[in-house]
Chains A and B, each alone.
Chain A
Amino acid sequence: MIISDLLEETVLALSSNKVRSGLTTLGIIIGISSVITMVSIGQGSQASIQESIQSIGANLIQVQPGSERSFGGVAAQRGSAKSLTADDAQAIADEISVAQAVAPEVSSRYQVAAKGTNTNTSIVGTTSSYTEVRNVEIAEGSFITDQQQTSTAKVAVLGPTVSTDLFGEGVSPIGQTIRINGNQFTVIGLTVAKGGSSFSSQDDMIFIPLSTAQRYFSGDEYVTSISVQATSEKTVDELETEITNLLLDRHHLNASSADFSILNQADIIATASSVTDTFTTLLAAVAGISLVVGGIGIMNMMLTSVTERTKEIGLRKAIGAKRKEIEQQFLVESVMLTLAGGVIGIALGLGISFAVSALGIVSTSVSWSSVVIAFGVSAAIGIIFGYYPARRAAGLNPIVALRYE
């Protein structure tokens, strides 16, 4: 049988029972479209998580004090020790060439009051380089300057959430006075909203000069963390090593007794990625199961079709069709069904992915490899689940098949 005849026979056979062909194809459509949608949701989540980690600051390393050990050897919470100072931060900035910018910070929560309202928020004492290191942008006014740092000025930069809490929506806080833990501060700036669902949202913070925070609140020279930005993505690991060596040297310690710990942003992204990868795999597996169910539907329909068309198969054999030709005919039928299902399923899956993303339900990212794989899988399902019915048709004895009622 030549290919055009084979296709014509197939179209005729499938269109002679449109409802059944349609319903069977629906199984594949659902399977394929859910694979594509689920994978795109998984990958979209991964991308948005990575993006939100990146938004904290690119190529970032955070140095935190280690846990303080009492004489009995009982360890307190990590980061509670007072081992890092602003001088350590200055040394990193001065001595390590791959450190692009360094921002030490002291942070703590205090009650903040203004004009009869009050709120409880994070007060971050830091320096001018904080904006560069942590990707903070100023919406109004200005950030803390080096001059204000030197003069321990009582000035504050508000995050948009704090500003709304204290002064109301849309009111400019610039020039207003707020009281932090009993000390009066002048508001000099407002940061741009970053959004983000992170538990330490930068929108809900007040920034003041580091020297001011140390003098009026913590009362000592220590800092709670030092954020360091590497010159590029490639130098992050080098930076981590150099900071470790420098601080060990400055603190006169060896590696096993380090009184600080280093968080590398790349490590955090890797961890988050492995979580979302598992999530994506899980979603794809569930969708894959529906694809298998769809394939079983194809097999079921083809077996019914072979039984119904036993007489036709007998006739075809009587007029000279070979075993292989009968087998081909039924195999092409099932492959055509699954391919049609695959194409419609891909279109539907892409549509759903874009719709879900456009409606803002979840961000999705269609991976074209998943589309190609889905298409291949649908063809494979046609062959795998069509093979047995086709073999059965081809193996029929023409005499028995012709007599079948």
Chain B
Amino acid sequence: MIEVKNVSKTYITGAGSFDALKGASFTIKDGEFVAIMGPSGSGKSTLMHILGALDTPTSGTYILDGKDVSTLTEDELADIRREHIGFVFQAFNLLPRASALRNVTLPLVYKQIPKEQREKIAKAALKSAGLDEQYFNHLSNQLSGGQIQRVAIARALVNQPSLILADEPTGNLDTRTGQIVLETFQKLNREERRTIILITHEPDVAEHADRIIFIRDGKIESDKPV
């Protein structure tokens, strides 16, 4: 359960202050598949950083699973990310000289889970994300774009997060591969009841979600089901 109440974010730069978010409010229930859409500069990246506990709002509250995340310290935010959030990045961000399996076990390393158990959980996550078992021990720089993004999705799944945040997950993929990745998200949402937030600027990508929150100039412009 995600509750965003009147969240604002102001950046102070040398040239003055800049309001990236101006009082955004919405609620996302567990098991929802939501797309956050908006043109570049609309504040959707800032919103994603706050939802992902990478940053805190200047004012307003963000409550994740009943816990107020808006006033936490750097290390407390790291705890929230480790326990509650899975990221899928546009640039994938896999460790290049590590195997697919190793990339997926990485979040569990920081959860101090023993190696054997780690690999079992990671293999299950890779299967959920739809990567063929024969690629598990391939180095990530030997995989195709689609396979890489599946590894990235498996990494986001592996810590059983309350929320999967996907930031332009298809931005670096061709249309067909992108389609497969989006179908994977849909499958995870329907079959495993994962809560997924998809950040994108493309309408046809956003349509794969069940609900679209449209943001412009730091304000929620519309919030309706697809």
Contacts and interface: CB of A to CB of B under 8 A. Distances in A.
Interface of B: 49, 52, 54-55, 74-75, 78-79, 81-83, 87, 89, 91, 93, 95, 97-98, 106-107, 109-112, 115, 155, 159
User: Which of B78, B79, B97 neighbours the largest number of chain A CB atoms within 10 Å of its CB?
Assistant: B78
A333 to B, nearest CB: 15
Contacts of A2: 112
Nearest to A324: B75
B95 A312 contact: yes
Interface in A365-405: 398-399, 402
Contacts of B75: 322-324
Contacts of A399: 49, 54-55
Interface in A1-50: 1-2, 4-5, 9, 12, 16
A320 B160 CA distance: 13
Contacts of A317: 78, 81
Contacts of B95: 312, 315
Contacts of B83: 320
B49 A318 contact: no
Contacts of B155: 319
B97 A314 contact: no
A271 B83 CA distance: 70
User: Which of A1, A314, A315 neighbours the largest number of chain B CB atoms within 10 Å of its CB?
Assistant: A315
B165 to A, nearest CB: 10
A82 interface: no
Nearest to A13: B97
A325 interface: yes
A402 B49 CA distance: 11
A319 B87 contact: yes
B93 A1 contact: no
A194 interface: no
Interface residues of A, number: 24
Nearest to B97: A16
Interface string A315-355: 11111111111000000000000000000000000000000
Contact of B93 (A9, A16, A315, A323): A315
A6 B106 CA distance: 12
Contact of B112 (A1, A312, A316, A324): A1
B74 A323 contact: yes
Contact of B81 (A4, A5, A319, A323): A319
Contact of A402 (B89, B109, B111): B89
A318 B81 contact: yes
Interface string A295-328: 0000000000000000110111111111111000
Contact of B109 (A5, A312, A314, A322): A5
Contact of A319 (B98, B106, B112): B106
A316 B82 CA distance: 10
User: Which of B75, B81, B159 neighbours the largest number of chain A CB atoms within 10 Å of its CB?
Assistant: B81
14 contacts: A4-B115, A9-B109, A311-B91, A312-B93, A314-B93, A315-B95, A317-B78, A318-B93, A319-B110, A320-B79, A320-B159, A321-B82, A323-B75, A325-B110
Given A321-B78, A402-B89, A316 B106 contact: yes
B156 to A, nearest CB: 9
Contacts of B110: 1, 316, 319-322, 325
**Which 9 pairs of residues, A with B, have the shortest CB-CB distance?**
A320-B82, A319-B107, A315-B93, A320-B81, A322-B78, A16-B97, A320-B110, A5-B109, A322-B75
